[in-house]
Amino acid sequence: MSVLTLKNIAKSFGATEVIKGIDLRIDEGEFVVFVGPSGCGKSTLLRLISGLEQADAGEIILDSEIVNDHTPFERGIAMVFQSYALYPHMTVAENMGFPLKMVKEKPHAIAEKVNAAAKTLQIDQLLDRRPDQLSGGQKQRVAMGRTIVRDPTLFLFDEPLSNLDADLRIEMRVEIEKLHKRLKATMIYVTHDQVEAMTLADRIVVLRDGVIEQIGAPLDLYDNPVNKFVASFLGSPKINFLSARVVDVGEGAATLSLRNGARFVVPMPTGDVKKDDALTIGVRPEDFAISGGDFSIPFDLELQEQLGPVSYLHGSSNGEKIVAEHRVRGKILKETASTLGVNSARIHVFDTSGRSVRHGRKGQET
């Protein structure tokens, strides 16, 4: 277990600045997930931590020691790659024992540790097979086994589940969670799948264009995103954005109007907005209701996706696309859903730059 501190880390590839001065502290035993769209620098940041890439500037500190010049092995990290990176010419046992062989452990000690790890991951019957004789899930377990045999200080996962099918992905996600609970090790996990991020992380780090947009506990980020980007990145289906205008500003509250003329009052810090400001409001799909709410918006239902206990209603309101969650079984009529109610206390408000000026659930449901 380790404490990892990144101080002003920067990395460029040629003229392209990929990581732009990142500061981050990851505590002992914490499970931190880096999320962000493709090209945001999350994998590069992981590779910088691993030592597979060298930082151009800044310090990487592991347990109070600056490790910028240390090799990946000297850093005491273990890494699971997106492609698993199992050695194709070695058996499962040889793959898992390779890190121990590198530190010249005795053969019987290697066999003992490999067997123990294999039992934990339920792959003890596969030890004599080669990687091309394994399924995707089995390969993933072997890759994890290779990391746990050497008792590393820090685990790094680079999109380890992205090549698995949906069922296996859920199964392996649970396995990783169990592994974290059992080992109590510090783990960093890179993914672009926000479901993985929400379910696995103690804290999520949202990255965009090489900078950290927001760090926080999954629900904290979901409820209190600092900007439109974070709000839209977390949550499935995505948050809905609607154009609005400030029509009146009062003490600790503002009156906003939507395109359809609907007006509502939202509590808001005084001074953040002024009259006639153009804003964007964000409403999570689950915060719409067929009936109820402080105000309603017209809704043109185009499609209903029924997923069992929940339905997603796809449509538009004054030309703006809307996805609403409906928690009643059965088909809903277009006429029944001609308006959607919204609780003004639950809406997020963003200014023209995308910065959040009001969170939807501040102080609620914690």
**Shorter beta-carbon distance to another protein: residue 101 or 334:** 101
Closest separation between CB of residue 144 and another protein, Å?
13
- Residue 312 binds another protein (CB under 8 A): no
Q: What is the residue-wise DSSP string for 76-130? A: TEEEE-TT----TTS-HHHHHHHHHHHTT--HHHHHHHHHHHHHHTT-GGGTT--
With CB under 8 A as the contact rule, the residue among 69, 132, 167, 276 that binds another protein is: 132
**Shorter beta-carbon distance to another protein: residue 90 or 211:** 90
**Shorter beta-carbon distance to another protein: residue 44 or 95:** 95
**Shorter beta-carbon distance to another protein: residue 43 or 214:** 43
Give the amino acid at 109: A
**Shorter beta-carbon distance to another protein: residue 130 or 238:** 130
Q: Which helix (H) or strand (E) holds 51?
A: none
Nearest to 193 by CA among 210, 216, 213, 218: 218
- Contacting another protein within 42-61 (CB under 8 A): 50-52
- Residue 136 binds another protein (CB under 8 A): yes
Terminal Cα-to-Cα distance of the chain (whole angstroms): 29
Give the amino acid at 138: Q
Q: Residues 64-103 vs another protein: string with x where CB under 8 A?
A: -------xxx---xxx-xxxxxxxxx-----x--xx--xx
- Residue 146 binds another protein (CB under 8 A): yes
Q: Which residues of 145-155 are buried (b: 16+ CB within 10 A; e: fewer)?
A: bbbbbbebbbb
Angle (nearest 5°) at CA 251 between 249 and 252: 95
Two structure tokens written together for 49: 């931590």
Looking at 125-133, 259-267, 269-277, 281-289, which segment touches another protein (CB under 8 A)? 125-133
Closest separation between CB of residue 88 and another protein, Å?
4
> What distance in Å separates the CA atoms of residue 359 and residue 366, rounded to the nearest whole number?
14
Contact 87, 95 (CB under 8 A): yes
**Shorter beta-carbon distance to another protein: residue 101 or 275:** 101
Backbone angles phi, psi at 75, to 5 degrees: -75, -15
Contact 326, 301 (CB under 8 A): no
Closest separation between CB of residue 212 and another protein, Å?
25
- Residue 191 binds another protein (CB under 8 A): no
**Shorter beta-carbon distance to another protein: residue 9 or 164:** 164
**Shorter beta-carbon distance to another protein: residue 34 or 233:** 34
Closest separation between CB of residue 89 and another protein, Å?
4
- Residue 130 binds another protein (CB under 8 A): yes
Specify the residue for token string 């199964």.
Answer: 171
* Number of residues near another protein (by CB under 8 A): 31
Closest separation between CB of residue 237 and another protein, Å?
29
- State whether residue 196 is helix, strand or coil: helix
Which residues of this chain interact with another protein, rule CB under 8 A? 50-52, 71-73, 77-79, 81-89, 95, 98-99, 102-103, 130-132, 136, 139, 146, 150, 163
